[in-house]
DNA sequence: CAGGCATATGACCGTATGTGCATATACGTG
DNA sequence: CACGTATATGCACATACGGTCATATGCCTG
């Protein structure tokens, strides 16, 4: 698993993180919410653990998982240069859209025809 | 490809986006920088196009690609709830770290107790 | 119009990944 | 100590993905 993004590529894993952002949860709770068999949940949790997204606490037989924000903070940091980009280019993009509109309305067509 | 995160899971694609954040580039330029065969570059560009991350402009035989910030903005938006989480918990985490420090310095990375 | 450059697309292959099932492990309780 | 609950792990399988090679398409130039 090379990057935090690869971990987040999986919808169930994002769902787990979202659930954990509101509060800690046991595997059973996650399982119930996600409507996913327990082994799947455990495996996703392993990926999340290995990626540093979550940590677990043992509570009797339960493992209670909680969020660890660091990897998400790294993603936040990765976005930084792009934020500069889009704040610089907001107006340029709007102009671009206007140009596209007045230029043609057939943007869906793929010009593959042969002459 | 179900999500923007899946698109970003690929390191070469992130590299492409980073390159495009500084300026537009032709496929050839990207190819040269990434040291990747041209078909690979084109395929990654297709994924990025389908995901809305980039747009291309035709310039003679060249296709010049530029960044489209929207999908990245969506990711930025997805991070919002987590930002609230980590700003709420920064101090808690610091306390946690201090506790761990004063508790023991030999715990290392035990995480997976083996019997 | 032929030829060449720039890019896209298709087929094939090896590998990684998510899922399901079966099972192992750990813990609490009678 | 046997049993049930809660979670993790190993195996098998199908699928998706990235890389490579070969080829198609598009455009420019002589």
Stretch B49-70: mean pLDDT, rounded? 95
Q: Where are the domains of chain B?
A: 4-68
Cβ of A5 within 8 Å of Cβ of B18? The answer is no
C-alpha triplet B111, B10, A22: angle, nearest 5°? 50
- Asked if strand D comes closer than 7 Å to A68 Cβ, the answer is no
- The whole-number pLDDT of residue B112 equals 36
Stretch B68-78: mean pLDDT, rounded? 95
| Percentage of chain A modeled with pLDDT above 70 | 75
Provide residues 2-41 of B with CB closer than 7 Å to any strand D atom. 6, 9-10, 12-13, 36-37, 39-40
Phi-psi region at A35: left, alpha or beta (left = phi > 0; alpha = psi -120 to 50)? left
- The whole-number pLDDT of residue A108 equals 35
**Mean pLDDT, chain B, as a whole number?**
84
Q: Which of the listed CATH numbers 2.60.40.10, 1.10.10.10, 3.20.20.70, 1.10.599.10 matches domain B4-68?
A: 1.10.10.10
Cβ atoms < 10 Å from Cβ of A84: 11
- Residue A91: pLDDT band (50, 70, 90) is low
Q: Is the pLDDT of residue B90 over 80?
A: no
* Between A17 and B89, residue with greater pLDDT: A17
Cβ atoms < 10 Å from Cβ of B12: 16
Cβ of A82 within 8 Å of Cβ of B67? The answer is yes
- The whole-number pLDDT of residue B38 equals 97
- Residue A86: pLDDT band (50, 70, 90) is confident
DSSP states along A80-104: HHHHHHHHHHHHHHHHHHHHHHHH-
Chain C nucleotides reached by a protein CB under 7 Å? 4-11, 17-23, 25-28
E-assigned strand segments in B1-115: 25-26, 54-59, 62-67
- Asked if strand D comes closer than 7 Å to B47 Cβ, the answer is yes
- The whole-number pLDDT of residue B99 equals 59
């Amino acid at each position: 698993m090379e990057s935090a993004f690869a971990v987040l590529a999986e919808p169930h894993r994002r769902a787990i993180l979202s659930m954990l952002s509101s509060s800690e949860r046991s595997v059973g709770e996650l399982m119930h919410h996600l409507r996913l068999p327990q082994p799947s949940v455990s495996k996703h949790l392993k990926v999340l653990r290995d990626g540093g997204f979550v940590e677990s606490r043992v509570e009797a037989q339960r493992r209670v998982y909680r969020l660890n924000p660091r990897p998400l903070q790294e993603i936040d940091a990765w976005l930084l240069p792009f934020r500069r980009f889009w704040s610089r280019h907001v107006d340029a993009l709007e102009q671009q859209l206007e140009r596209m509109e007045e230029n043609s309305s057939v943007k869906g067509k793929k010009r593959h025809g042969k002459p």
